[in-house]
Amino acid sequence: MTRQYGLIFDVDGVVADTESVNRRVSVQVFDDLFGVKGVRDEDFTDGLGRGAHEYVKAAARVHKLDLTAEQLDKAVQYRQDLFLQVLTTEPLPPYPGVLALIEAGLASDDFEVAIATSGTLEKSRAALDAAGIPYTKMVYVNGNDVTHKKPDPELFLVAARRMGLPPQRCVVIEDAPNGVQAAKAAGARCIAVTNTTPADGLRQADRICDSLEEIDLAALRALVD
């Protein structure tokens, strides 16, 4: 049977609670490298889903820190090193419903399933391995594969192309406003899960849910058809 539907998962904040780790290690970056204390989780909000450089720059703007390109690159690399270190010592269970939905899509004759994340190959692969996501059986697009990060739609357009489907036949699972905006700009349907952002910030999505346990393949087909 020809695959008729695409199911695309973001990683951070969608498959597992990586955002809490991202925030924690990013706060440490500002303290260790720049001596900036008092950085809060919400200082990174504008950078959610936009890649590591924009994530760091978001908090730098809040604290009026003018980083050079060299300082920014160093901060991003240190942040990734800290993130990978945490994953070697702490569990990272998948969010409820994630594995069931992925496994249902992989077992279906009419679905292609993909991972599409702004994170680097090394960082996203570590998170996927820690959460037990079977990404080797899926199309896998990461931040190393694209030039433009969310809210630009490139990431999801590449994922749809690699699945051999028009983006209009795809449903993207997202958790952040920038990701929802990117999915819609690509022409895809979008389900937003409130793991990291309240529903009010996700209103551009076609459907909002509190858990992927609420979503099955029938719901995905209904969004596309």
Of the candidates 215, 106, 205, the residue with the CA atom closest to the CA atom of residue 163: 106
Q: Which candidate in 10, 17, 152, 175 is catalytic?
A: 10
Supply the angle between the helices 217-224 and 98-107 in degrees, to the nearest 10: 70
**Catalytic (active site) residue 12:** yes
Q: Is 113 helix (H, G, I), strand (E, B) or coil?
A: strand
Q: How many angstroms separate the Cα of 69 from the Cα of each of 5, 21, 53, 81, 147?
A: 41, 24, 10, 18, 17
Q: Which of 139, 217, 14 is nearest to 225 (CA)?
A: 217
Nearest to 140 by CA among 163, 162, 114: 114
For residue 216, count other CB atoms closer than 10 A to its CB: 14
216 is catalytic: no
The residue among 83, 113, 77 whose CA lies nearest residue 220 is: 113
Q: Could you list the active site residues? A: 10, 12
